[in-house]
């Protein structure tokens, strides 16, 4: 079945173009569009739970209520909905603020519609945390350059093995199971088993949570 997607952006031409491209693919149904965070929340309030979108593609810089504020509020009120930031911003503060607010992915608007659709599929079907390559590289670099200290928990005390730490770093870099396996010369199934152990040790249940935890605790591996 096509995925149910909501679009939030203050630029009418962006909404129109994205809605046309996603709908034309046959893989998406646009539940509704909104021109700012407050408008988005109002639209959700008018829907029945079965009418909620599965994924929201959310811009950041909007009047009235920006995308980060909207995700922070909506992720609490509507925890079943997934949120992917789709924005022109790649600066550090907005990236981390969006992830802390509850975003499950972060894409730049320069991405093609087929990439956006694959990211929607990844976040729904695989519980992934899709990121544009430039964003993934920036996130990993920020983690590697962040000095460890009392502000963050020591990764050595997390109970993760050296291999699990390598895999966690690869997840932060945006690699999927196959790519991690190729990088570390192990099978995708072995990668999957390691990730399951990471989830158990960190008491989490998704890739998005693993990345958020790594960022929040400033783990450098």
Residues 23 and 120 in one domain: yes
Task: Tell whether the model's pLDDT for residue 164 goes beyond 90.
Answer: no
CATH number at residue 170: 1.10.10.10
H-run or E-run covering 185: none
State both tokens at 12: 């009418």
Task: Tell whether the model's pLDDT for residue 151 goes beyond 80.
Answer: no
Q: Last residue of a domain, which of 130, 160, 175?
A: 130
Residues 94 and 154 in one domain: no
Task: Tell whether the model's pLDDT for residue 139 goes beyond 70.
Answer: no
The residues, any chain, with a CB within 8 Å of residue 27's CB and separated by 6 or more, are 2, 3, 117
Residues 106 and 40 in one domain: yes
pLDDT attached to residue 132:
83
Domain that holds residue 173: 138-216
Query: CB atoms < 10 A from the CB of 203, how many?
Result: 8
Residues 7 and 100 in one domain: yes
CATH number at residue 73: 3.40.50.2300
DSSP characters over 82-148: EEEEEES---HHHHHHHHHHT-SEEEETTS-HHHHHHHHHHHHHS----B-HHHHHHHHHHHHHSPP
* Residue 221 falls inside a structural domain: no
* Residue 26 falls inside a structural domain: yes
Residues 208 and 117 in one domain: no
Find out whether 5 and 26 touch, Cβ atoms under 8 Å: no
Q: How many domains is the chain built from?
A: 2
Residues 20 and 118 in one domain: yes
* Residue 125 falls inside a structural domain: yes
CA distance 3 to 86: 17
Q: Last residue of a domain, which of 130, 163, 193?
A: 130
Residues 121 and 37 in one domain: yes
CA distance 82 to 54: 6
Q: Last residue of a domain, which of 88, 106, 130?
A: 130
Number of helical H runs and strand E runs in the chain: 10, 5
pLDDT attached to residue 67:
93
DSSP classification of residue 2: P
Q: What is the pLDDT of residues 63-108, one digit of tens each?
A: 999 999 999 899 888 989 999 999 887 666 777 778 778 888 889 8
Task: Tell whether the model's pLDDT for residue 168 goes beyond 70.
Answer: yes
pLDDT attached to residue 17:
94
Residues 48 and 142 in one domain: no
CA distance 89 to 99: 13
Q: 38 versus 148: which is more confidently predicted?
A: 38
Angle at 25 between CA 23 and CA 29, to 5 degrees: 35
* Residue 45 falls inside a structural domain: yes
pLDDT attached to residue 143:
58
* Residue 160 falls inside a structural domain: yes
pLDDT attached to residue 154:
56
Average pLDDT in the chain: 84
Residues 145 and 95 in one domain: no
pLDDT attached to residue 216:
67
Residues 73 and 151 in one domain: no
Task: Tell whether the model's pLDDT for residue 56 goes beyond 80.
Answer: yes
Residues 54 and 105 in one domain: yes
Nearest CA to 101 out of 125, 131, 67, 133 is that of 67
Residues 117 and 86 in one domain: yes
* Residue 87 falls inside a structural domain: yes
177-to-5, 18, 78, 186 alpha-carbon distances in Å? 26, 29, 29, 10
pLDDT attached to residue 220:
43
* Residue 43 falls inside a structural domain: yes
* Residue 112 falls inside a structural domain: yes
pTM: 0.66
Tokens 């976040």, residue located = 123
Nearest CA to 28 out of 44, 46, 6, 8 is that of 6
């Amino acid at each position: 079945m096509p995925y149910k997607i909501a679009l939030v952006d203050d630029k009418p031409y962006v909404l129109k173009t994205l809605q046309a491209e996603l709908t034309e693919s046959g893989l998406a149904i646009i539940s509704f569009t909104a021109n700012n965070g407050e408008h988005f929340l109002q639209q959700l309030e008018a829907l029945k739970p079965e009418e909620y979108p599965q994924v929201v593609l959310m811009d950041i810089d909007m009047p009235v209520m920006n995308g980060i504020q909207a995700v922070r509020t909506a992720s609490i009120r509507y925890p079943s909905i997934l949120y992917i930031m789709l924005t022109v911003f790649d600066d550090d503060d907005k990236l981390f603020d969006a992830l802390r607010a509850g975003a499950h992915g972060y894409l730049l608007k320069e991405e093609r519609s087929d990439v956006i659709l694959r990211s929607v599929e990844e976040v729904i079907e695989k519980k992934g945390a899709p990121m544009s390559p430039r964003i993934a590289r920036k996130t990993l670099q920020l983690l590697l350059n962040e000095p460890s200290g009392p502000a963050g928990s020591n990764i050595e005390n997390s109970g993760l093995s050296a291999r699990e730490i390598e895999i966690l770093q690869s997840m932060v870099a945006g690699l999927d199971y196959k790519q991690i396996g190729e990088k570390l010369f192990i099978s995708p199934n072995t990668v999957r088993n390691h990730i399951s152990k990471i989830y158990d040790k960190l008491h989490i249940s998704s890739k998005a949570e693993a990345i958020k935890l790594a960022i929040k605790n400033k783990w450098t591996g």
